[in-house]
Each structure stands twice: as structure tokens, then as C-alpha cells.
Amino acid sequence: MPATSTQPADVKEKDAKPTACLALADGTIFYGKGFGATGEAEAELCFNTAMTGYQEIMTDPSYAGQIVTFTFPHIGNTGVTPEDDETADPFAAGMVVKWDPTDPSNWRAAETLGTWLSRRGRIGIGGIDTRRLTRAIRQQGAPHVAISHNADGEFDIEALTKKARAFSGLEGLDLAKDVTCAQSYRWDEMRWAWPEGYTRQNAAKFKVVALDYGAKRNILRCLASAGCDVTVMPATATAAEVLAHSPDGVFLSNGPGDPAATGDYAVPMIREILDTTDLPIFGICLGHQMLALALGAKTVKMNHGHHGANHPVKDLETGKVEITSMNHGFAVDSQSLPNGVKETHVSLFDGSNCGLRMADRPVFSVQYHPEASPGPMDSIYLFDRFTDAMATRAA
């Protein structure tokens, strides 16, 4: 995209002045109306096509190091509630939307999106031509950007552009260590259900250790609802530390950053568990990529990644097509899968790998988020597949 400057219609009105801007590394500048926190931030820019779940997306650790452009224009209209946080704080660096967030109209809303972002130190910018921005991302790849929100409308465009160009990018960056838990903890909260809300697991059948590369709460809730007593451990945990809990299975969570970088410490741990035990292993997202690397495959950086709740994935073993929720900028290179490892799922958008399993062991993973927060629940069965494997091993 050539260096240009754009302003939304409301900014062009007499005496109107933009209060936020988005500077791309190629010199393109988008002006709009800021909301949330004031200040500046640099990140990689991606787009997300989900129509719901903006709060879950902003608090998904997989978005660390990224600013999210929402292609659906109605963002903020249901407000926010603590029940929908996937983690204690947002990890996305900021958000870009078409229309300024309106006052919420939802019985669950506890506060407005703008107030929530301000309190959490995250910048939002509205009034942006998100279609144009999305096309640029698709055509040229995820750009490095700097975002600024200043109520006075004063911006140092040259400095912002330099910050965007100076951003290191996500390749070679291990972000799992920045988003993982500081110490181990137990998780027993189950999925939300009407009218009780979140309830506790009190009849667990299986002990599961979940490696936290950036785990979402609803993924842990799905494990608990499937009958698991879950112990969450830091991303840097060793195999000896994992096995000290005598688990029936090991779960590898979602997370951000370059899988090859996180693999420096995660892959040896997974390989040791594979070499010394017959434990079932289930991986999601970054956990899928960690398992692939441990089995001898490779990962690659995607042009603009997959981010949304409407991604069709084909199960190659059943022929079934699932609509899935995705959030990843790296992918497993299916051509690098070794003998004994089968590709089980592929994206119907671009044919990229979305799942694998070992041919002779209960070890499997998927690239997408089957807990569907936000998104469809076509793939929730995978948690039962994991518990069925643990039950078979125990029989």
C-alpha cells in the first residue's frame, strides 16, 4: 500500500479533529476517533472476522504482540462483563473498529468497552475503513504498526511511523514465557450453563496436567466439564515436574508468538514424555505446533494468519466439515510431517494443516480452538476424545 492518509467521515466535518491514528510501517496513516486508554503502542496488525466475542478475543493470550482489526462493524454494543474475560487482563495491544462503540444494550453488561479498555491500558480507534485495511493485510501480509490515542489530536506522525518500522515482529519471538502462569495451580471451574453459571467440578475421573503457553479459561473449563482434575503448569515446566503429578494425560494449550522460539524449551519436555510414557496428549493452537515440532515437523509464518470464528476445516478421516474458531499466524508445514504422523484436518480456505495424530498412539492436536469462545461448537467433541483415550489407557 503506498503512503497515504485517510480520515473517517465524521472527522471531515467542520471543526472535527481526529483523536487517534494508526501508522503503518509503509507510511500509510489512518485517522479516527480514539477510545479506551490514551498513549501509544506498537504491534503486528491482524484482522478478525468474528461477529461476537470481542472481549474474549482481546483477553486471549494468543493475541499478545498484536493489534486486532475487527471486520464486523458492531463492536462494543453488548458492553463487557468479568464473566467473559479469558484471562485477568487483555493481551492484544489494541483494537481497530469501523464504528465508534455505542452504549451497551445487554443485560449482562457491567461496563462499557471504552471504560474497560481504559482501565486495562488498551487503546481503541474507531471510524476506520476496516475493509480497506483488511484488504491491505490480505494482499501484503500482516503489517507492523503503531497506534496512538491523544485527546488533543496532536500526533508525531514521523515518530509513529519509525516506531512501526522498528517493531521486531513475531518471527523468532517467544511470547509464551510472557503470558504463562508464574506457578502451578489447580482448575476446577466448568463451562457456563444456564441458570447456575459457572459451577465446580467435584467428581473428576482423570488427572490432567495442562501446560500453559497462554491458556484460555474456557479451554480449561472444557477440560473440567469433560471430567478432568486439571493442574495448570508454567510453559517452562520440565518433564520430571509434569510427571511428578502422576497425570492420566497431558494437555498443551494455545498461546502466542513463534512456535520455533517457544520450542527451545517446550519441545524437549514433550519429547521426553513421548519417549518415556504412553500418556495421551492433546494439543490446541500453539500446543498443536509444539507437538508437531516435537514429532519432527516444521512450522512456517503465514502471510496474514487465520483469525475468526467462521473457518471451515475438513476432517480427512471422516469427511466431516467443521466450522471452527481460529487464531494463529504460524502453521505446521504438512509436507514436513514424518512417517507415523498423520494429517487429520485441513483448512478449506487455503489447505493449510489444522490437525495431526500419531498413527499408533493416543497423541493428537488441532490448530483451531474447539472450546469455541467465541465461535461455533462443532469441535467440542475433541475434549471427549481426550478423556476417552485416558479411559482406554486406564482400563
356, 317 contact by CB (below 8 A): no
In which band, very low, low, confident or very high, does the pLDDT at 16 lie, cut at 50, 70 and 90? confident
C-alpha cell at 298: 516444521
Measured CA to CA, the distance from residue 79 to residue 114 in angstroms comes to 9
144 lies in the same domain as 213: no
Of 334, 285, 376, 386, nearest to 64 by C-alpha is 285
148 lies in the same domain as 278: no
Q: What is the mean pLDDT of residues 141-154?
A: 97
CATH code where residue 67 lies: 3.50.30.20
41 lies in the same domain as 188: no
Catalytic residue among 144, 288, 311, 369: 369
Taking 50 as the threshold, does the pLDDT of residue 14 lie above it? no
383 lies in the same domain as 278: yes
**Within a domain: 171:** no
In which band, very low, low, confident or very high, does the pLDDT at 6 lie, cut at 50, 70 and 90? low
358 lies in the same domain as 322: yes
**Within a domain: 382:** yes
**Within a domain: 117:** yes
Measured CA to CA, the distance from residue 385 to residue 365 in angstroms comes to 11
285-320 exposure pattern, b = at least 16 Cβ within 10 A, e = fewer? bbbbbbbbbbbebebebeebbbbbbebebbbeeeee
More confidently predicted of 12 and 335 = 335
Q: What is the mean pLDDT of residues 306-320?
A: 97
**Within a domain: 352:** yes
**Within a domain: 36:** yes
pLDDT in tens, 188-245: 999 999 999 999 999 999 999 999 999 999 999 999 999 999 999 999 999 999 999 9
196 lies in the same domain as 305: yes
Measured CA to CA, the distance from residue 72 to residue 309 in angstroms comes to 12
Q: What is the mean pLDDT of residues 298-325?
A: 97
- Give residue for cell 512450522: 299
| Strand duo 363-366 + 281-284: pairing | parallel
- Whether the model clears a pTM of 0.85, i.e. scores above it, the answer is yes
* One-letter identity of residue 126: G
Distance of CA 211 to the CA centre of its chain: 16
pLDDT in tens, 35-44: 999 999 999 9
Taking 80 as the threshold, does the pLDDT of residue 1 lie above it? no
Average model confidence (pLDDT) across the chain: 95
226 lies in the same domain as 270: yes
Domain boundary among 166, 198, 226: 166
The percent of residues in the chain predicted with pLDDT above 90, rounded, is 95
**Within a domain: 89:** yes
Catalytic residue among 21, 46, 285, 354: 285
pLDDT in tens, 241-285: 999 999 999 999 999 999 999 999 999 999 999 999 999 999 999
Measured CA to CA, the distance from residue 30 to residue 12 in angstroms comes to 13
- Residue 285 among the catalytic residues: yes
- Number of domains comprising the chain: 2
Non-local (6+) Cβ contacts of 88 within 8 A are: none
**Within a domain: 327:** yes
Q: What is the mean pLDDT of residues 34-59?
A: 97
189 lies in the same domain as 55: no
148 lies in the same domain as 290: no
211 lies in the same domain as 342: yes
Taking 70 as the threshold, does the pLDDT of residue 46 lie above it? yes
Of 308, 309, 295, 268, nearest to 357 by C-alpha is 295
CATH code where residue 200 lies: 3.40.50.880
45 lies in the same domain as 106: yes
- Residue 21 among the catalytic residues: no
Q: What is the mean pLDDT of residues 127-150?
A: 97
DSSP state of 180: S
130 lies in the same domain as 259: no
Catalytic residue among 44, 56, 86, 371: 371
What pLDDT, on a 0 to 100 scale, did the predictor assign at position 5? 57
Taking 60 as the threshold, does the pLDDT of residue 345 lie above it? yes
What pLDDT, on a 0 to 100 scale, did the predictor assign at position 13? 46
Residues spanned by the domain of 73: 5-166
**Within a domain: 136:** yes
Domain boundary among 107, 140, 166: 166
Domain boundary among 103, 137, 166: 166
